[in-house]
Amino acid sequence: MANHRKPRLAIMGEFSSGKSTLCNVLLGSRPLLEKVTATQLPPVWLSYGAGDAYVQRLDGEREPLDVADLGSVSLDGTEHVRIYLKSEMLKYCDLIDMPGISDPSMAPEVWERMAHLADGVLWCTHATQAWRQSEAGVWATFPEELRAHSMLLVTRFDKIISEADRLRVLKRVATETRGLFAEFFPISLTQAMAAGDDQQKWVASGGYAFTNALYDLVNRLADSDATLTDEEQVQDGDEPVSAGESSLVSTHFDRLRLVKTGQTVPLGERVMPRRVATTGARQPRPDAARPVALGGNVVPFAERTSAPPQDGGGAAGPASPLTQSKG
């Protein structure tokens, strides 16, 4: 039996950059996450399961936590809050929701002391003021090896109406973040959240292209060696866990998992994963789902929203917007 630790992805960005909405899109849950992503909270570590929530103190002690009282958790002496949810997405990876880096009432140490636990980062930046100097300054303090496992989301992209303005933003972000992230994607998280069963809306929101790339990232991290704690071990042959709340992202992940392992599933049919599949060498995404390389023409946002083929495979999809140069 092989042991595997699920990857941990930190969700970061400035205040009001879309981090809480991203959590909602990933997990498909609203009521709890509205509390989880409230302001003035320490980092919140989300894992799959039915375990009891707790507060991890800086002195090493753990205190039980009633999630209904989450808003009462004090920043003083707290490293992080650990919450277990039965969300399908958390079968693939843990999420660490970080406080906004620009909150003037919160010392940066609150999130800095948790940053080393992240295997990758999903950084949210508001499209209308994308990639501010304050963001660049904070990201520059992170280790370079994290860049290959991190993605930048240009959120609220629907707020930019003009296609010319959209292209201008994407070109500027591409230039200013070259080599800083593996890839970046324009996305409307609210549209992705509201897409429901409408595949065209899901694609048009940017959610489809982002999820393809996120699936590759999670599998790439899952295939890497990791030191395990007892509570994080997942063994081959484990019995399937009970069904949890799904999201469009987790449903998309389930389908991609089957496609990448040579199986097919009819559109609309749900598949219950046990863990991230580790199938040896990574298979590249289909050409149609591959990001457009920097240095060429930037593909207009409207032209990247063609729906994926409506067949049993479901692997191919629209090109994601831009990928960062690895050099």
Structure confidence by residue, pLDDT tens digits, 183-223: 999 999 999 999 988 999 999 999 999 999 999 999 999 87
Give Cβ neighbours of residue 77 (< 8 Å, ≥ 6 apart).
57, 58, 59
Q: Which sign, positive or negative, has the C-alpha torsion 179, 322, 161, 123? A: negative
Lowest mean pLDDT among 177-181, 196-200, 301-305: 301-305
Question: CA dihedral defined by 225, 219, 289, 97, rounded to 10 degrees?
Answer: -100
Domain boundaries, the chain: 3-323
Per-residue pLDDT of 69-105, as tens digits, reads: 888 888 889 999 999 999 999 999 999 999 889 777 7
pLDDT above 70 for 306: no
For the chain, report the end-to-end CA distance as a whole number of angstroms.
37
Q: The whole model's pTM is what?
A: 0.78
Mean pLDDT over residues 271-275, rounded?
A: 38
Degrees to nearest 5, angle at CA 208 with 207 and 211: 80
Lowest mean pLDDT among 63-72, 89-98, 152-161, 289-298: 289-298
Phi, psi (5° rounding) for residue 124? -100, 130
Q: Does domain 3-323 have CATH number 3.40.50.300?
A: yes
8 Å CB contact between 182 and 324: yes
3-state DSSP assignment of residue 302 = helix
Higher pLDDT, 37 or 228: 37
Q: Could you count the other beta carbons within 10 Å of the beta carbon of residue 273? A: 17
Instruction: Specify whether the backbone of 296 is left (phi greater than 0), alpha (psi in -120 to 50) or beta.
Output: beta
